[in-house]
Structure 1
Amino acid sequence: MASTAIIYHNPRCNTSRTALKIIEESGLEPTIVRYLDTPPTKDGLRKLLDDAGLSASQAIRKQEPVYKELDLAHASEDELIKAMVEHPILIERPIVVTDQGTVLARPADRVREVL
């Protein structure tokens, strides 16, 4: 069982709120990172994605208006990372990090994989 947890959280997102509730119900008091207010650095985001086994193209919110505005459909992985750091709304959520691993908790029940 995990002993620590960090959740990259958007309180306006139902999936993120559900994942947070699952973590809390497991008995952990997670560190909550409101990534829209405190976005990760380029290297920090790359590490999160690498640890979760995700590419930037798998972890970017393609339905966000800024995705289309920036014409990111054919962008490189480095360009996507840069856009995600500059526009953190593009980062898919929630990302949960525990001592058991890192996961993009979509659907929210995936958080159980690292608890």
Structure 2
Amino acid sequence: MIKIYHNNRCSKSRLGVQFLEDAGKDFEVVKYLEDVPTEAELTEIIKLLGISPIELVRTNEAIWKSDYKGKDLTDVQIIKAMVENPKLIERPIVINDEKAVIARPTEKIAEIL
């Protein structure tokens, strides 16, 4: 089952949902601001993406700039920061079995379908 980690207030995230609908795919929407991934889930997502935790952080968010920027954080601390402040998680994330992408640009979704 395809999953999209979605924030309806984000235009890129809405485009991701639209892309999947237009492709005729069945998918599950995870509203990650309400249904926040656990540390274990986020660790698995990062592994599937093949990136480091900092690459999933929205570093331009005010909370990152005020509370975390410039600090020497471990990967575990970065993941905890995203769990505590899910607005920091880059979006949309699309997962299809053992493949995942950050759908920026939206067309990256096609790589895992």
The answer to whether residue 93 in structure 2 is matched with residue 95 in structure 1 is yes
The answer to whether the 8 A contact 1:100-1:114 is kept is no
User: Which residue of 1 is the match for residue 73 of structure 2?
Assistant: 75
Quote the RMSD (CA, aligned, Å): 1.2
Distance 2:39 2:77 in 1: 11
CA contact (8 A) 1:16 1:94 kept: yes
The reply on whether 1:43 has 2:40 as its aligned counterpart is yes
Q: How far did residue 29 of structure 1 move?
A: 2.5
**In the alignment, what sits opposite 2:56?**
59
Aligned counterpart in structure 2 of residue 112 of structure 1, from 105, 110, 113 = 110
**Structure 2 length normalisation: TM-score?**
0.93
Residue of structure 2 aligned with 1:85, choices 69, 83, 86: 83
Q: Runs of 5+ in structure 2 lacking a partner?
A: none
Identical positions, percent: 38
Q: Give TM-score scaled by structure 1 length.
A: 0.92
Counterpart of 2:15?
18
Displacement, 1:72? 3.5
Cα displacement string for residues 81-109 of structure 1 (whole angstroms, at most 9, x for unaligned residues):
00000000000001111136111111111
Aligned counterparts of 1:112 and 1:11: Cα–Cα separation in 2: 21
Q: Is the 8 A contact 1:72 1:80 kept in 2?
A: no
Runs of 4+ in 1 over 2 A off after TM superposition: 71-74
Equivalent pair of 2:48/2:98 in contact (CA under 8 Å): no
CA distance in 2, matches of 1:67, 1:100: 29
